[in-house]
Chain A
Amino acid sequence: METSYTDIEGRWSDIDKVIKRTGPFVAPDFQPDTNDSPSIKTALQNDFKILVIGAGGLGCELLKNLALSGFRNIDVIDMDTIDVSNLNRQFLFRRKDVGKSKAEVAAAFINQRVAGCKVTPYKCKIQDKDEDYYRQFKLIIAGLDSIEARRWINGLLVNLVVTDTDGNIDPLTIIPLIDGGTEGFKGQARVILPRISSCFECSLESFPPQTTYAICTIANTPRVPEHCIQWALIFGLPDAAIPKPFDPKVFDNDNPVHMTWLYETAKKRAEDHNINGVTYKLTQGVAKNIIPAIASTNAIIAAACCNEAFKICTDSSGYLDNYMMYNGQQSVYTYTFNYEVKEGCAVCGSNIVSYEVSPKTLLSTFLEDISKDSRFQFKKPSLRCNGRNLYMQGLLHQSTVPNLEKSLEDLQVGEGDEITITDPSLPVSITSIILLIYHDVESESEEETTTTSTNSFTPSVNNQEVPREKVWEKYAKRSRERTDHRTDQNQCRKLINQILKEYKAGSHVSIEEVRAKAIEAQTKKIQSYFDNEFQTNVSIKA
């Protein structure tokens, strides 16, 4: 690559201190730069190309940090446009930029401010780029709020790693992925070395799909304002009997007219049940699943990510192994630990997970369960078994819809069969395989049989079947722990079936939409696994 820009003498004297001098904590390969042979600086400025995914709160910080770490060749991908609510933290944007491409405005700002730096923007989805595009980078930093996008890029980078016939990894094919995420005063930064350290998919459980209120609570026993807002979204929106000043098919939560309707509908529902507290702000929060975001947390997490990027590229220090959690709410706490590789990881491990289920489970229920399962988190899965299509997206979709109301048994899916799943959340070449283990539930009624299938699974190791007794033990323990009310669940299933019927009758709202709505529109009712983990560790440390 060309070196057209010459810096002012002494500009990088701070960075020079750590790349021209060795020290007791440098990486084993570190060779300090000399005036005659500035190989680290040349690499930073000319050889290494870095990709930043996301030009939002983290992305703006990442670009600034990389530019001032001496990197000059940076690509940034973001398909979003600038919104006024970004301006409290996305400091490369001004009011005049609202509506423009984040990637383009951010790149132009950095290029203008930091002389010599060349940021190239792409206003597109990460999925629009092919493997060859991603192969050109020294490393990739992701500042995304979407789990789906993070899974996709993680899967792709793990797949790019080449191993020889003896299973040795070609180190040149490893592209490190540095991933950051924030929410309010909390965040995490991690380094993923594909095929060497744990990958994003290994830790999927720490990002549970936001737990939805039971649909029956929303329908029958609303108690808090959030229930009413969800009701307006899930039931009010498709209900032709409720007048609305817009076409419900194109509901847009950025449109004030739509949001006002939603707010008023939720408020009415709340008044009917004597529930207080539905406000426009809360309605927005629930409908858009708004996560609080501030400049300071983004700065901390992005800087931790770029510090790792700089150290990986210069070997001038130690490294983060491999996960740092941050919480600034009460005092300033961090917890740094090694997130271990998960056996059975669909991306970097064996991709087979055994799953216990009743043969009488309807395919629709099965689909619902695996999509909700924090270990899979499928968006729009396609299912195949024994060479047959059980449920497909796309062209074959219609032909497989009737299967939804058949049980696994009726679909001739047997014990020990493997269901192969492809999903847009995983890169094309990766599939997840679910090994079915049937359990008998003789004494229970058919209704109950179906409900007990939820969430009971055991990961298997390298395709070895887990002994039935073990599975049963675990299952029994889980079902004891379960807090779900079966009567409620039966009501839920009736509702889902009702929605299914609507679907079949050609109603405009699809089951995916209903499910997505229910999953997306959330509140913070349940503390995530992560928060608990974090709290525990913090209290041990403190």
Chain B
Amino acid sequence: MTDTEKYDRQLRLWGEEGQARLEKSHICLINGTATGTETLKNLVLPGIGGFTVVDGNKVSASDLGNNFFLDKSCLGLSRALKVCEFLRELNDRVKGSSCEEDPVHLINEKISFFKEFDLVIANRLPEAALTTLSQYLWEHNIPLVVVVSYGYIGYLRLVVPEHQIVESKPDTPLDDLRIYNPFKELEEMADQLDLKSLNSQQHGHVPYITLMVHLLKKWKVDSNGGKMPSTRDEKESFKKFFISNANSFQDEENFQEGVKGIWKVLQPYSVPSDIVAIMNDPKAANLSSTSDDYWVMVAALKKFHETHQVLPLQGTIPDITADTISYINLQKIYHEKASADLDEFTSIVNSLVSSVGKTLIPSEMIKKFCKNVRFLNLVRYRSLVDEFTPATARSAYMISELEQPDSNLVFYIVLRAVEKFNNIYNRYPGFNDEEVDADIPLLKSCVTSLLNDLSIPTTLVKDDYITEIARYGHCELHNIASLMGGVTSQEVIKLITHQYVPLDNTFIFNGINSTANPYKL
């Protein structure tokens, strides 16, 4: 039994390369609560390299009511030690270690402890310690993930200075077919098409790409003075012309496929605006020997685009109606053009690399980048300090979100106020049964002062939400912990593998009615 078999169902998503990145990563968890262990469970199972749990607590009775990675025998022992032991058992390939120190103490006295990790997950950290940690990790370019399960509510925040993505893996990627602006080889092949000479079987099996390129050229030369159709009327007229070339439109699937996507095809070629933004980023303009490979390749992409006004061709075509031979031929033409583009792109990369004095970028990496140029992505997160400082907080955005009926953002406000409450009273609102009623107005005044700091009208947070959060008394329900652990681990996997697109930057789950929203705070 190999790991390939064991990991088969996930390798189909993130591949060997994503798996290798996971297996190299060492992740730190602050506090081995239910939310913490549920997150790690979903990371140990797919095989991260290692993890370290930092937790100064001893296992208490209430841990046995919500934490699956503890049992009766653990009562009174170090929680870091025991959850580490129980989690390690899930996957013998994963190394686990524990640190029994109080994380707040560690942050205040020995913050360099956190420098060794590839990512830190913080859970149940007081706001002051969290802020200190986030600044430290930000300076060291280490991703921080903050997760909270509070009664029926969940909160998640990702903090990374810059996250580069080559394989964003969009749900429905469209192939770059260049029908509007065919490359030479494609145009030459389409020129050779002689529809009249084909029998009906062949006629119905000419790939629509070839049909389109061929007929577009014919139409523009014969009927539009050599210009591509640009107005609505011209496009309609081309569409009619295209259909008129079918022997029987009802029966020819290739012609139908052509008409289906005709409006998209008749859009002039353009580079997506987010890719343009990445190419124009100052980091691509100012390369040095310490530049990331990503930015060197972006710079090369910019050069390629300046020369050709197009991006390197991806070279894949969708499965479309065609006979085998025409399809394979067409595939070959795209593939060869993509190879030629890749060769040229690679030589630009190599010359940039040598001009700035960097080590060579592996050709496999260049190839992957080149194949994904239309799906590049870059996320620059806001720091927690920017979010927490009233002068830089996104108050206007928050107001517009809070004005929506039943906005889940109210929970963000009340949970922030809970931290203020904890800062003042050194306990959580409603923790003790006898104090719930008395804590509600105290929590309300924390909400009011937070809203005033942020210049948000206090009427936007209704009392019911404050009452509800006080009712929770800092409790951690296993279901919410498990759900948040699921979302958190998924985002950690995206950050570590640099595949798919992670949340930017806050997620709130409302377990009262099972709704959720992402916010950019």
Verify that A and B bind, or say they do not: yes
Q: Say if the beta carbon of A160 comes within 8 Å of chain B.
A: no
**Which of B256, B491, B500, B518 lies in contact with A333, CB distance below 8 A?**
B518
Check if A24 sits within 8 Å of B204, measured CB to CB: no
Check if B476 sits within 8 Å of A304, measured CB to CB: no
Taken residue by residue from 440 to 484, chain B's Cβ proximity to chain A (1 for < 8 Å, 0 otherwise) reads as 000000000000000000000000100110011101111110110
Given A14-B62, A15-B475, A221-B324, is A303 in contact with B483 using a C-beta cutoff of 8 Å?
yes
Main secondary structure of the interface of A (DSSP, over half): loop
B293 CB to closest chain A CB, in angstroms? Answer: 24
Q: Which residues of B contact A20 (CB under 8 A)?
A: 433
Q: Say if the beta carbon of B515 comes within 8 Å of chain A.
A: yes
B461 CB to closest chain A CB, in angstroms? Answer: 13
Q: Which residues of A contact B9 (CB under 8 A)?
A: 85, 88-89, 290-294
Complexed CA–CA distance, A324 and B517 (Å): 12
Closest to A336 in B: B515
Given A14-B62, A85-B9, A307-B479, is A299 in contact with B485 using a C-beta cutoff of 8 Å?
yes
Q: Which residues of A contact B42 (CB under 8 A)?
A: 294-296, 299
A383-391, A400-408, A413-421, A481-489: which lies at the interface:
A481-489
A54 CB to closest chain B CB, in angstroms? Answer: 16
Taken residue by residue from 495 to 521, chain B's Cβ proximity to chain A (1 for < 8 Å, 0 otherwise) reads as 000001111100100011111111000
Q: Say if the beta carbon of B171 comes within 8 Å of chain A.
A: yes
A313-321, A360-368, A508-516: which lies at the interface:
A313-321
A141 CB to closest chain B CB, in angstroms? Answer: 12
Check if B515 sits within 8 Å of A18, measured CB to CB: no
Check if B518 sits within 8 Å of A15, measured CB to CB: no
* Tally of chain B residues near chain A (CB < 8 A): 93
Check if A307 sits within 8 Å of B13, measured CB to CB: no
Q: Say if the beta carbon of B489 comes within 8 Å of chain A.
A: yes
Instruction: Rank and list the top 4 A-B pairs by shortest CB-CB distance, nearest first.
Output: A299-B486, A303-B483, A300-B486, A320-B514
Q: Which residues of A contact B168 (CB under 8 A)?
A: 330
Q: Which residues of B contact A334 (CB under 8 A)?
A: 515-517
Kindly count the residue-residue contacts between A and B in the assembled complex, taking CB atoms under 8 Å apart.
263
19 A-B pairs in the complex with CB atoms less than 8 angstroms apart: A9-B61, A11-B65, A17-B151, A20-B433, A21-B471, A65-B479, A85-B5, A113-B71, A275-B328, A290-B8, A292-B10, A294-B42, A294-B490, A296-B42, A297-B486, A318-B513, A320-B514, A334-B515, A485-B321
Closest to A322 in B: B514
Q: Which residues of B contact A329 (CB under 8 A)?
A: 169, 171, 500-501
Given A224-B319, A285-B12, A295-B489, is A91 in contact with B61 using a C-beta cutoff of 8 Å?
no
* Tally of chain A residues near chain B (CB < 8 A): 87
Complexed CA–CA distance, A299 and B473 (Å): 25
A18 CB to closest chain B CB, in angstroms? Answer: 7
Q: Which residues of B contact A304 (CB under 8 A)?
A: 479, 483, 514
Q: Say if the beta carbon of B6 comes within 8 Å of chain A.
A: yes
Check if A535 sits within 8 Å of B479, measured CB to CB: no
Q: Say if the beta carbon of B72 comes within 8 Å of chain A.
A: yes
Complexed CA–CA distance, A15 and B478 (Å): 9
**Which of A88, A89, A306, A332 lies in contact with B503, CB distance below 8 A?**
A332
Check if B61 sits within 8 Å of A296, measured CB to CB: no
**Which of A13, A21, A88, A273 lies in contact with B7, CB distance below 8 A?**
A88
Check if A332 sits within 8 Å of B491, measured CB to CB: yes
Complexed CA–CA distance, A65 and B327 (Å): 51
Q: Which residues of A contact B45 (CB under 8 A)?
A: 87-89, 91, 295
Taken residue by residue from 19 to 30, chain A's Cβ proximity to chain B (1 for < 8 Å, 0 otherwise) reads as 011111100000
Q: Say if the beta carbon of B251 comes within 8 Å of chain A.
A: yes
Check if A294 sits within 8 Å of B516, measured CB to CB: no
**Which of B66, B152, B436, B471 lies in contact with A68, CB distance below 8 A?**
B66
Check if B475 sits within 8 Å of A13, measured CB to CB: yes
Taken residue by residue from 119 to 154, chain B's Cβ proximity to chain A (1 for < 8 Å, 0 otherwise) reads as 000000000000000000000000000000001100
